């Protein structure tokens, strides 16, 4: 194993790897330096006074952590300045020592007072395995909680994002692992947090620019008069030096943009796990629909069959073969996104009941009747595993056939398949097990 490169933090004499920073609980980002909040009171104060509230703002809120100390949430609610709160539940991997010390209190108070809230986790993940652990960290802490705002993945840590090993692809894999783990546990109300430059593909800092980051709503930090991020976002953190009655320390201030009620992954494409399928009449199989950008997310699609006389499909993608033929099963996400599986259905097979000598030189073969077919095809050979030739095509109304002019003392092998003619084309069942007799 190689040695992890040390990430030098801007403006600091201290150097950490991501693991070391996590172990110490020290943040380094656009707003933290060696765990201390970066505050330029003159600039930040001027920015708050000059901030232009977006016209499509629908709510104002705060985000808090242990840094705000003991919050008097009744005063916060009565201040008239807070419509919602986003609460830090912890940082890093799933260890109790990395739970936010004020998480339980803050979340319980919001629930007691009816303040809508969501949650964020500060990430130090530089591998997929760590991202999954961070997701499980969130799952452990929010179990039984009544969140009405999203779960946000806070990806701002410089020891991670500024590492020479951290590519845009790797950052996407880390985010995907976090979101997929939460989605697999049933949590779909998800979003991503970072500062504006991290989402900008034109900048060297823009590590969070892969397609996955456009599939989840963004909570963007931009401490300016207007939000400097030019892409789509649903929440803007416009200051980190806000003052709210009931909170003794500075607090982050946010505008909710738009009238959304839930966040989370927005599917845009639909793919099926099977594009073709062979079935037998009377059987059932289930196919799955997913967005290739996030295969763990359970899509809500409308299922359709091109011919319900041949096959039906239920709301879960379960296909039931009704009759022999070909049919298209389609999953429809929207008018632009759909995917089709072509299903070929064979008729039901029969089963040989008996093979007996008949007359002086004949053998009579008897089989079970199968409904809904066109005919039975009888095959014979003098070898058990090869050399079979079709010797008769028998009406669907009959269940026996006698082959004559056979040689005495010779052993003969028989097998049968059913056939169904649909729109000028025949569909065939599997063959029966081979039965033999010595004449």
Residues of the domain holding 410: 351-438
What number of residues does the chain have?
A: 439
Tally of CB atoms within 10 A around 54: 15
d(CA 376, CA 352): 11
Cβ-count burial 414-425 (b if 16+ within 10 Å, e if not)? bbbbbbbebeee
Q: Long-range contacts made by residues 230-236, C-beta under 8 angstroms, separation at least 24?
A: 230/200, 231/199, 233/257, 234/191, 234/258, 234/260, 234/263, 235/191, 236/54
Give how many domains the chain has, as a whole number. 3
Residues 122 and 221 in one domain: yes
Other residues' Cβ atoms within 10 Å of the Cβ of residue 27: 22
Say whether pTM exceeds 0.85.
no
295 and 194 within one domain? no
Residues 6+ apart with CB under 8 A from 313: 303, 304, 305, 319, 320, 329
Q: For residue 212, is pLDDT > 70? A: yes
pLDDT score, position 26: 87
Domain check: are 161 and 234 in the same one?
yes
Point out which residues pair with 379 in neighbouring strands.
Answer: 390, 415
- How buried is residue 19: exposed, middle or buried, by Cβ count under 10 Å (0-12/13-18/19+)? middle
Q: Final residue of a domain: which of 309, 325, 346?
A: 346
Among residues 257, 283, 299, which one ends one of the domains? Answer: 257
Per-residue pLDDT band for 4 (boundaries 50, 70, 90) equals: very low
Half-sphere CA count of 184, side-chain side, radius 13 A: 12
Contact at 8 Å (CB) between 234 and 58?
A: no
Is the same domain home to 49 and 171? Answer: yes
CA distances from 308 to 169, 179, 311, 324, 377 (A): 44, 37, 5, 12, 28
CA 182, chain centre distance (Å): 9
Mean pLDDT over residues 216-223, rounded? 95
CA angle, 264 then 315 then 306, to 5° = 120
CATH number at residue 404: 2.60.40.10
- 234-263: string of b/e by CB count within 10 Å (b at 16+)? bbbbbbbbbebebbeebbbbbbbbeeeeeb
The domain that holds 179 is classified in CATH as 3.20.20.80
Let me know whether 170 and 317 are in one domain. Answer: no
The answer to whether residues 282 and 252 belong to one domain is no
Quote the distance between the C-alpha of residue 179 and its chain's center: 8
Look at residues 303, 424, 310, 308 and name the one whose alpha carbon lies nearest to residue 374. 424
Q: What percent of the chain has pLDDT over 90?
A: 80
Assigned domain for 175 exists? yes
Q: Tell me the pLDDT band of 149, cut-offs 50, 70 and 90.
A: very high
Q: Indicate whether 243 and 303 sit together in one domain.
A: no
Give the confidence band of 46 by pLDDT, cuts at 50, 70, 90.
low
**What confidence tens digit (pLDDT) does each residue in 281-304 have?**
999 999 999 988 777 777 889 999
Helix (H) or strand (E) holding 78: helix 73-78
Between CA 436 and CA 102 the distance in angstroms is 79
| φ, ψ (nearest 5 deg) of residue 275 | -100, -15
CB-based contact 418:368 (threshold 8 Å) = no
State the CB neighbour count (10 A cutoff) for residue 90: 26
Q: Quick check: is 13 in a domain? A: no
371-397: b (≥16 Cβ within 10 Å) or e? eebbbbbbbbbeeeeeebeeeeebebe
Report which of residues 65 and 294 the model is more confident about: 65
My answer on whether 66 and 50 are in the same domain is yes
Same-domain check for residues 323 and 397: no
Q: Which of 346, 367, 393 lies at the terminal end of a domain, its last residue?
A: 346
Per residue in 412-425, pLDDT tens?
999 999 999 999 99
- Give yes or no: residues 329 and 253 share one domain: no
Kindly state whether residue 300 falls inside one of the protein's structural domains: yes
Binned at pLDDT 50, 70 and 90, residue 6 comes out as: very low
Report the CATH number at residue 307. Answer: 2.60.40.1080
Residues 125 and 213 both lie in one domain:
yes
Question: Is 145 inside a domain boundary?
Answer: yes
């Amino acid at each position: 194993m190689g040695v992890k490169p040390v990430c030098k933090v801007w403006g600091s004499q201290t150097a950490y790897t991501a693991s070391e920073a996590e172990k110490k609980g020290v943040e380094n980002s656009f707003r933290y330096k060696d765990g201390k909040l970066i505050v330029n009171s003159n600039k930040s104060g001027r920015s708050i006074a000059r901030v232009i509230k977006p016209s499509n703002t629908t709510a104002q809120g705060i985000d808090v952590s242990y840094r705000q100390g003991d919050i008097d949430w009744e005063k916060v609610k009565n201040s008239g300045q807070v419509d919602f709160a986003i609460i830090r539940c912890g940082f890093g991997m799933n260890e109790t020592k990395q739970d936010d010390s004020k998480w339980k209190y803050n979340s319980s108070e919001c629930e007691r007072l009816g303040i809508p809230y969501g949650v964020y986790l500060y990430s130090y993940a530089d591998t997929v395995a760590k991202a999954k652990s961070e997701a499980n960290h969130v799952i452990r802490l929010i179990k039984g909680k009544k969140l009405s705002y999203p779960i946000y993945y806070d990806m701002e840590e410089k020891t991670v994002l500024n590492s020479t090993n951290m590519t845009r692809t790797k950052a996407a894999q880390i985010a995907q692992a976090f979101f997929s783990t939460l989605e697999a546990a049933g949590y779909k109300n998800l979003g991503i947090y970072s500062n504006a430059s991290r989402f900008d593909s034109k900048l060297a800092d823009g590590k969070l620019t892969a397609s996955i980051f456009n599939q989840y709503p963004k909570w963007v930090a931009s401490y300016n008069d207007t939000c400097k991020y030019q892409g789509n976002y649903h929440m803007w953190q416009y200051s980190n030096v806000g003052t709210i009655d009931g909170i003794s320390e500075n607090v982050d201030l946010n505008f909710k943009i738009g009238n959304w009620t839930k966040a989370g992954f927005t599917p845009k494409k639909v793919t099926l796990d099977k594009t073709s399928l062979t079935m037998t009449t009377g059987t059932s199989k289930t196919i799955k629909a997913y967005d290739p950008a996030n295969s763990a997310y359970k899509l809500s699609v409308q299922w359709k069959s091109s011919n319900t006389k041949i096959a039906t499909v239920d709301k879960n993608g379960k296909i039931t073969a009704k009759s022999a033929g070909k049919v298209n099963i389609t999953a429809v996400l929207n008018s632009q996104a759909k995917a089709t599986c072509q299903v070929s259905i064979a008729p039901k097979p029969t089963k040989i009941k008996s093979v007996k000598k008949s007359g002086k030189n004949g053998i009579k073969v008897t089989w079970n009747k199968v409904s809904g077919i066109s005919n039975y095809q009888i095959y014979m050979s003098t070898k058990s595993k090869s050399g079979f030739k079709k010797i008769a095509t028998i009406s669907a109304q009959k269940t026996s056939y006698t082959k004559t002019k056979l040689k005495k003392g010779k052993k003969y092998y028989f097998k049968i398949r059913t056939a169904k003619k649909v729109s000028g084309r025949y569909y065939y069942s599997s063959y029966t097990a081979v039965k033999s007799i010595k004449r």
